[in-house]
Structure 1
Amino acid sequence: MHDDHELVRLVGKLDLRAKVRLLAGGSVWRTCAEPSIGLRALTFSDGPAGVRGPGWDERRTSLAVPSPTALGATWDEDLVHRLGALLAAESRRKGVDVLLAPVLNLHRTPYGGRHFECFAEDPLLTARLGVAYVQGVQSGGVAAAPKHFVANETETDRLTHDVRVSERTLRELYLAPFEAVVEAGAWAVMSAYNGVNGHPMSENPLLTGVLKEEWGFDGVVVSDWGAVRTTVESASSGQDLSMPGPWGPWGDLLVAAVEAGEVAESAIDDKVLRLLRLAARVGALESGAEREEFAPAVNDAALLREAVSASTVLLRNNGILPLHPGRTIALIGPGAAAPRVQGGGSSGLYPSAENSLLDALTSRAEVVHAPGVRINDEPTPVRAPVQVRVLGQNDEVLFEERRLTGRILETEEVPGARVLEISTTLHVTETGPWRLAVAGYGRLTLDVDGTRVLDVVQPVDTDDPAVKHLRPPHHEVEVHLEKTQVELVARRELGEDSGMASLLAADPPTPNADQEFGAAIEAASRSDVAIVVVSTTDAIEGEGRDRTTLSLPGEQDALVTAVCLANPNTVVVVNSGGPVLLPWRDDTAAVLLTWFPGQEGGHGLADVLFGEREPGGRLPTTWPVRESDVPVANFLPDNQKLEYDEGLDIGYRAWAAHDVEPAYWFGHGLGYTTWDYLGARAERGAVRVRLRNTGRRRGREVVQVYLSREDSTTPRPRRWLGGFASVVADAGETVEVLVEIPPQATRHWENGWVTESGGFTVHIGPNAGATRIRLAARHVLRPR
């Protein structure tokens, strides 16, 4: 590993133009190389629920781990660390040096469209799991880049809105997880698109004043893709690397700014030094750390399957779970056969394997599947092999290849490209009106057996990269097709700054909705047990947009209600990344949350249903009864400004402050056993808790400690999480667990960190709304 003296010497070997060249991407996913000092390009990849690798190609698959909300539900740092190490091995396999993860933003409100990528609504839980994730990834020689620094909790107008937040709220909530991962040694941090208190984050004083100077961060601040929009202001700030490139506001413009004295060359030197330090850490400098292959130390499928059961939250159970063998099962809902294993947006990848609950249960029981309802009107990409051609001005073929799907996000970029063409043979399985669609920007056409059926122009209507490069607008047409095969040819123009994302989609005639619904109810009435899988869609939970409702899409609520009436032994499985309304929850026999469970979701859930594993999850965010109860609902910017005027009261803190009972509190989750909290005592910097497993089987309990301060001289939340620890015990066994309370749990920001004299009341229990033991405030919980 190079020391800083050697790195400073290498910086000194470069002239200004060479140094500035290193500070912007050499391409979309790679930095620039500099052979004169032995520096190769660094490769970046999106995370956090897997390592896609550079680019989008369905032929290059990846391990799909459970979504961060699922990892948040584990409350298990060891498991998250092991998954981080697995992702490091995946990164090495794909030639990735920097994984753009984890997401440390908070669940400020359940309407956040991208909250499936965030761990929790609480800063302490987020911080502890974020540290485990970062250290797991970096244990494999790959840099983690925690994001999005900072206050990036809303997707609406995300490129431009400015968050207005008090310094105390910023310090105690939104900066806290980032401070923890920097203290733990994160090698990179990603700055956000949004602004905070009047400054875009790519040029915000927080990058230098807090992140680098106060916290001592010695790594690289990489921008979110396209977030750097100025030259002098951003380069004079703590922003180190502008991605992607080589285009953008740095480059020649930055060289000129330095030569004009508008940006100090010493600032450029510091940025290059940080980049070389990162390169040395990941083995991208000659004579630096060797670029080894870090093979996974565990069985991939086994670990991913373990993570599913560990993150599954049992909200309700009348005793029906675990299921007894030999019972007939009606498996209902489209998500039972086609689950959502991941959220939508830049974190998306192509899973190396997938198994549904239908797949997993069919091998264990007598199962009949009935979708019941349709929940997604988005066009379905053609799933047969397609021919992709890049054409020039006169339709000459500049490049062609075979792909596996009609959704093409990237292909070879060649000079002179004018048109992208996708063609395939569609096997018509049903006679009737087929819905055909194309997507992209520019002129879009679709031919069926040589006949033009669609010809439209779609102008570029957004700057948001998630829309432009992942989900451009689509146009559809209904065509009557016979039972045979037809040739489909879709074309789209390739204009300047319009991306390459294109789509050729085909959906067969839709079945009669009443008949589908009735078939599901009939199946439920004839079976011993009904399992209904309800799901969200990419249109509801995805990057670049927030949610407009917490209700499930389509007629899923009506379906669950009808199935419960037809069969009292109804188990509902909720396949979503964040909270949804559950108006039927009291009518069910059991309710399970699986989040977005990754590629082993089906097998992992089956393990839970049949009791081979306990549902280990606890809620990382509070779930409401009704939308009108949500205490923080102002998630939409007003005139590009977003006021965080609720201060410290988000999540369970806000529910407590408003004296409103949610459907399920933060921290809630049932296992397959029961627990008695027998007693507790406060120690220096910790609380020792004694409890007994009062059930009939071995189980795990997450013991949570909340603090309050009724006589405080400064405003505080009603209660806040001070610490947590898990314990495992056999049936009838009594155990003790030590819950450490970190110093930051008892301090507050008042022009600096302050610990108020006097005592804090300690509340101990299984969730934020059901604390079983209360210890009176006698003394400050000083550090151990």
Structure 2
Amino acid sequence: MTLSLADAARLTAGATMWTTGAVPERNARSLMLADGPMGVASGRVDERDVSVLTPAPVAQGASWDLDLVAQMGALVGNDAITMGVDALLAPNVNMARSPLAGRAFEYYSEDPLLTGLCGAAWVRGIQSTGTAAVAKHFVCNDSETQRDTMNCVVDDATLRQVYLLPFEMACTAGCGGIMTAYNHVNGDWCAEASGPLTIVRDEWAYGGVLMSDFFATHSTAATLNAGLDLEMPGPARFLGAKAEDAVAQGLVSADRVQDAAERVIRFNQRFGGAKTPATLDSEELLTAGAAAGFVLLRNDGLLPLAPTIRTLAVIGPNATAPCYQGGTFARIAVTPDALTPLEAITATLGQHMAIVHEPGVDPQPRLPAMPVTPALDLGDGCTTGLTVEYFAGHDLTAPPLSRETRATNSLVWFHGVHDQGRFNETGAVRASGWYVASGDGAHRFYAGATGPVVLKVDGVEIIRRDVQPAASDIMGVLKAGDADEGVVTLRAGQRVLVEVELRYAPARVQGLWYGVRAPDTPDAMLARAIAAAAQADAVVLMLGETADASVESKDRSDTRLDPAQLHLAQAVRAANPRTAIVVNVGHAFDASFATDAAALLVAWYPGQNFGKALADVLIGTREPGGRLPMTLAAQEADYPAYGLTPDDGGDLRYDDGLLVGYRGFKAQGKAALFPLGAGMGYTSFALGEARVADGRIVVEVTNTGTRAGSEVIQAYLAQSPYALVGFAKLHLAPGESATATIEPSPYILRSVPGSDAVPLVIGRNAQDAAVTLRLPR
């Protein structure tokens, strides 16, 4: 059945915020979309948005285990089925080009092959359940600074061999769709970039749907003629009925609109049918998956912890306030059942040793929580949180439209305030609750919003923030979370009413956030931590980021941990050298502060079972199975790509070319502090003979230690550009030998000129040339 032009045009835009259009007579029902990739985000972006939270892609990439990555995709697919979701906007197969990238936790690696293999595995996993994968963000959306306007300038070879390659591999794996990014690439908006989109449609013969990121379209004719099929979200802004108008004006062919509609129909038909949940042990998979991504970079015999330890000090802010995930609009709430690292360590080890804890520094340096009880009893059984009231207009003395209780310090509304659909009108919100001071002294209150905000304590205004709504990247405003501060002196036990008021103007999204910091001093917190460390037999020092440190719309300014945390690390190690440092970050970081630590473990953002996995790894019931998916430099100047601020003309030049990440270190003759692929478990391995058999690289590997463990054998091109061509991960018992078989990637070898045999190096990281051989062409 051929669609009318009007019906075809209608399908080129989403029906609603999260749904596609439908054609029932073609068995193409509307599909429900949701954001990802760490879990299924409902779009609320608040404490009610609970679903399964897997390890972040950077942690999955660190596992170097494609079967595990596929299982993670299937696990998310299962949750999507439960939630009635047909397609997930994931995986993110952009590249961790710079350590400053604000969204690097959502990327698998700095290497295009590892990124592509992981992305393809995740696609196969989730789509095995009948849930679609939509790979994003096409293309060169590898940073966040000025992402709505900046122009990535990249040569054709680099574009194809580095930044397009992971998308090509996702397409080969059959991903249901590709989502274009916000930025420009070589002068064109990504949704209008006919060059890259033509490669996808024609050279790769990709038959899936090409959709825009949300609100990332800027035109009608240019967008359709470049090859985009679907504008999101709905209702239409530039496509939809305007596509029909463009045909009437001779700007777009009717065939192009019909083709776009047919691609949407095929997408709906393919993923609108019956779902097939995967058979998985979710709890075990989430714990094993987290541990598999932990990267142990140093260990002087401290780990696993000896059973003779009588007192263990668990120090650091991330012991009780861990970072499970990054701050994107795919953020989901962690299940209340999740144990913090301190809780899990206490539950696992508390019967065998005394566990003491001190944060050492403020665990929430940006926006602290606000522990309050509701100002009003709404009969909902809620005993914590704030009473939130919604008003028509800016008069808060008028009767509220509605009320609810919310247990959060960050309120975000996408679908109208309290689902009332009032974003096209002015309105107001008041959040209020009773706060009881925990000590004597100055209490610091914080408040911020997408519009003018006031915070009152017992009726006295202490904060007035008269900001105006952002003109462009409102999502960036939300994620940046800027707030003003006001100070009130309270007595211990004093009960005060806190009211936070937002008066908003019409906008497509609104947000309000607030917090309070109780009296304490950095010196006092540090002193307590030092004392606890000195009196313990061993220390687990947990450092890293808060949940709002790595965010969408914002890149970092450097790779260092917070100065207060670095000072804490120095002081604690001086008090007790038997300190295992656990770093909870989502990106490459400056590890120079810990190069002589007794143990250094990188945990990344490991999902909801962080605590359980860490406790198991500390006592040795699981090994830290990860290897670095990116390079940790000895100094920031060594990174081939570092700064991410576009020039005055808005251009961000990819001058590192093909020499991204570890390739640039090799080309410049610079040794990394810890190279790509580095890491160790709790045993040791020896590599034996390497040879080529039937086009595969075969390496003999022996576990020479006393514990079972895993090793990742890696093969690299031994010529410029130095590049990963394949790897194999083995798990061996003590004394066991086995053969590692590496499939050299045709995606990498096709770019090697000539017909001579290809020189390779085989080792356990990008700087380890344990074995050399030549691969016949």
TM-score of the pair, normalised by structure 2: 0.93
> Equivalent residues in 2 for 1:321-360 (5 A)?
321-327=303-309, 328-352=311-335, 353-360=337-344
Q: Could you say which residue in structure 1 is the equivalent of 2:531? A: 522
Cα deviation code 1:404-442 (max 9, x no counterpart): 223111231334551122222223333332222222133
1:382 partnered with 2:389: no
Cα deviation code 1:510-562 (max 9, x no counterpart): x1211211111111111110111111235542111111111101311121122
Residue 527 to residue 485, structure 1, CA distance change in 2 (3 Å): same
Percent of aligned positions that are identical: 35
Q: 1:39 Cα deviation (Å)?
A: 4.6
> Equivalent residues in 2 for 1:115-514 (5 A)?
115-283=104-272, 289-290=273-274, 292=275, 294-295=276-277, 297-327=279-309, 328-352=311-335, 353-363=337-347, 364=349, 365-374=353-362, 376-383=364-371, 384-393=384-393, 395-410=398-413, 411-415=418-422, 416=425, 418-482=427-491, 483-497=493-507, 499-509=509-519, 511-514=520-523
Counterpart of 2:123 in structure 1: which amino acid? V
- 1:296 and 1:469 map into 2 onto residues whose CA distance is 36
Counterpart of 2:370 in structure 1: which amino acid? V
Counterpart of 1:309 in structure 2: which amino acid? A
- 1:337 and 1:455 map into 2 onto residues whose CA distance is 32
Q: 1:504 Cα deviation (Å)?
A: 3.2
Q: 1:93 Cα deviation (Å)?
A: 1.3
Q: Could you say which residue in structure 1 is the equivalent of 2:380? A: none
Counterpart of 1:368 in structure 2: which amino acid? V
- 1:251 and 1:481 map into 2 onto residues whose CA distance is 58
Q: Could you say which residue in structure 2 is the equivalent of 1:751? A: none
Cα deviation code 1:382-411 (max 9, x no counterpart): 353222222113534333322222311123
Q: Which moved more, 1:672-681 or 1:551-560?
A: 551-560
Q: 1:657 Cα deviation (Å)?
A: 0.9
- 1:369 and 1:563 map into 2 onto residues whose CA distance is 13
1:56 partnered with 2:45: yes
* Aligned partners of 1:391 and 1:417 also within 8 Å: no
- 1:27 and 1:505 map into 2 onto residues whose CA distance is 34
Equivalent residue for 1:740, pick from 732, 738, 743: 743
Q: 1:462 Cα deviation (Å)?
A: 4.8
Counterpart of 2:203 in structure 1: which amino acid? E
Q: 1:42 Cα deviation (Å)?
A: 2.0
Structure 1: runs of 5 or more not aligned: 1-8, 284-288, 710-715, 749-753
Q: 1:769 Cα deviation (Å)?
A: 0.4
Q: Could you say which residue in structure 1 is the equivalent of 2:767? A: 769
SS in structure 2 of the partner of residue 148 of structure 1: strand
Q: 1:35 Cα deviation (Å)?
A: 5.5
Q: 1:326 Cα deviation (Å)?
A: 4.1
* Aligned partners of 1:207 and 1:238 also within 8 Å: no
- 2:16 and 2:436 map into 1 onto residues whose CA distance is 39
1:722 partnered with 2:721: no
* Aligned partners of 1:441 and 1:457 also within 8 Å: no
* Aligned partners of 1:159 and 1:464 also within 8 Å: yes
Q: Could you say which residue in structure 1 is the equivalent of 2:375? A: none
- 1:177 and 1:672 map into 2 onto residues whose CA distance is 32
Q: Could you say which residue in structure 1 is the equivalent of 2:576? A: 567
Q: Could you say which residue in structure 2 is the equivalent of 1:89? A: 78
- 2:516 and 2:742 map into 1 onto residues whose CA distance is 55
Counterpart of 1:342 in structure 2: which amino acid? Q
Equivalent residue for 1:659, pick from 653, 669, 682: 669
- 1:278 and 1:86 map into 2 onto residues whose CA distance is 22
- 1:542 and 1:620 map into 2 onto residues whose CA distance is 20
- 2:48 and 2:198 map into 1 onto residues whose CA distance is 44
- 1:655 and 1:540 map into 2 onto residues whose CA distance is 27
* Aligned partners of 1:399 and 1:412 also within 8 Å: no
* Aligned partners of 1:207 and 1:237 also within 8 Å: no
Q: 1:183 Cα deviation (Å)?
A: 1.0
Counterpart of 1:693 in structure 2: which amino acid? N
* Aligned partners of 1:339 and 1:356 also within 8 Å: yes
Cα deviation code 1:92-111 (max 9, x no counterpart): 11121111111111111111
Cα deviation code 1:658-688 (max 9, x no counterpart): 1111110100011111111111112232111
Residue 247 to residue 447, structure 1, CA distance change in 2 (3 Å): farther
SS in structure 1 of the partner of residue 78 of structure 2: helix
SS in structure 2 of the partner of residue 607 of structure 1: helix
* Aligned partners of 2:577 and 2:597 also within 8 Å: yes
* Aligned partners of 1:375 and 1:555 also within 8 Å: no
Q: 1:57 Cα deviation (Å)?
A: 3.9
Q: Which moved more, 1:461-470 or 1:695-704?
A: 461-470
Equivalent residue for 1:646, pick from 632, 652, 656: 656
* Aligned partners of 2:326 and 2:548 also within 8 Å: no
- 1:691 and 1:366 map into 2 onto residues whose CA distance is 40
- 1:421 and 1:18 map into 2 onto residues whose CA distance is 44
* Aligned partners of 2:43 and 2:330 also within 8 Å: no
Q: 1:450 Cα deviation (Å)?
A: 2.8
SS in structure 2 of the partner of residue 453 of structure 1: strand
SS in structure 2 of the partner of residue 454 of structure 1: strand
- 2:122 and 2:558 map into 1 onto residues whose CA distance is 31
* Aligned partners of 2:49 and 2:332 also within 8 Å: no
Q: 1:137 Cα deviation (Å)?
A: 0.6
SS in structure 2 of the partner of residue 657 of structure 1: helix
Structure 2: runs of 5 or more not aligned: 372-383
Residue 260 to residue 472, structure 1, CA distance change in 2 (3 Å): farther
Q: 1:471 Cα deviation (Å)?
A: 4.4
Cα deviation code 1:489-515 (max 9, x no counterpart): 222122122621112322222x12112
Q: 1:272 Cα deviation (Å)?
A: 1.1
- 1:486 and 1:204 map into 2 onto residues whose CA distance is 56
* Aligned partners of 2:761 and 2:769 also within 8 Å: yes
* Aligned partners of 1:552 and 1:580 also within 8 Å: yes
- 1:115 and 1:171 map into 2 onto residues whose CA distance is 21
- 1:247 and 1:470 map into 2 onto residues whose CA distance is 26
* Aligned partners of 2:708 and 2:734 also within 8 Å: yes
Counterpart of 1:377 in structure 2: which amino acid? P
- 2:555 and 2:479 map into 1 onto residues whose CA distance is 16
- 1:465 and 1:225 map into 2 onto residues whose CA distance is 12
Cα deviation code 1:719-750 (max 9, x no counterpart): 211110111222112211211112222221xx
Residue 447 to residue 512, structure 1, CA distance change in 2 (3 Å): closer
- 1:759 and 1:37 map into 2 onto residues whose CA distance is 52
- 1:451 and 1:505 map into 2 onto residues whose CA distance is 17
Residue 431 to residue 74, structure 1, CA distance change in 2 (3 Å): same
Residue 306 to residue 631, structure 1, CA distance change in 2 (3 Å): same
- 1:539 and 1:379 map into 2 onto residues whose CA distance is 8
Q: 1:254 Cα deviation (Å)?
A: 2.9
- 2:616 and 2:587 map into 1 onto residues whose CA distance is 23
- 2:255 and 2:346 map into 1 onto residues whose CA distance is 65
SS in structure 2 of the partner of residue 409 of structure 1: strand
Counterpart of 2:340 in structure 1: which amino acid? S
- 1:405 and 1:169 map into 2 onto residues whose CA distance is 44
SS in structure 1 of the partner of residue 466 of structure 2: strand
Counterpart of 2:61 in structure 1: which amino acid? G
Root-mean-square deviation over aligned CA pairs? 1.9
> How many residue pairs are counted as aligned between the two chains?
748
- 2:603 and 2:197 map into 1 onto residues whose CA distance is 40
SS in structure 2 of the partner of residue 146 of structure 1: strand
Cα deviation code 1:449-508 (max 9, x no counterpart): 333333332112351242244445322311223323222222212212262111232222
Q: Could you say which residue in structure 2 is the equivalent of 1:597? A: 606
* Aligned partners of 1:390 and 1:417 also within 8 Å: no
